[in-house]
Amino acid sequence: MYKKRILALAAGLTLLLGAATTARTEQLTTVAVFAMDKVLLSFYSDSDILRDYFRADEQHRADVLLAENDLRDLQARRATAVSRNDSRLAGRLREDITAQQEYILALNERWYQTEDGLLAELQDDQFYKTVYEVAGYVAEENGYTLIMDVSATGMGIFWYSPAIDVTDDIIQELLVRFR
């Protein structure tokens, strides 16, 4: 009797785990990915707000790169002053380094504020809304319940099969709608 209960329990657990695995597998097959950056680059000229965003981002990166190069130069000069035991110059350069670090932080803070505004405008942009609608259309046409943007930072996508990449499908549908 005891063996029958254990066998029945084991069979029940096996059946339950098999059903859960099957459900999980079915769920994963409804996921697709696309690369929003590729879509945006394909239609770069169709959105003024997007062009403004990319220009501002490029300018920010250039400003930060220049400021970081200046910071490295100050740090190298300070290291030389320290090695020469020139404490007065080393102290002045330490102040300059601190000021440069604060400048870089201010550049980044200003960019984050600008970026927030541009992203808010972009979400109101008709092109962005059309991409959202097209992604939904492609998902429904192909039986996907979720489409994730692989170009979005922080999404945690480590790997995906190219078989579930619907970027080209989205671009093709956008071509139909825009042209």
Q: Which residue has the higher pLDDT, 160 or 89?
A: 89
Confidence class for position 91, pLDDT limits 50, 70, 90:
very high
Write out the E strands in the chain: 31-34, 146-149
* Candidate from 13-17, 23-27, 85-89, 175-179 with smallest mean pLDDT: 13-17
164, 33 Cβ separation under 8 angstroms: yes
Nearest to 142 by CA among 121, 168, 120, 160: 168
Residue 147 sits at φ, ψ, to 5 deg, of -125, 125
Mean pLDDT of 149-172: 83
CB atoms within 10 A of CB 135: 23
Asked whether the whole model's pTM tops 0.85, one would answer no
Class of domain 27-46+125-179: alpha beta
83, two tokens: 């090695």
CB atoms within 10 A of CB 64: 15
> Domain locations in the chain?
27-46+125-179, 48-122
CB atoms within 10 A of CB 27: 11
Q: Three-state DSSP class for 84?
A: coil
Quick check: 80 pLDDT over 50?
Answer: yes
As a whole number of angstroms, the distance between CA 56 and CA 50 comes to: 10
As a whole number of angstroms, the distance between CA 41 and CA 149 comes to: 14
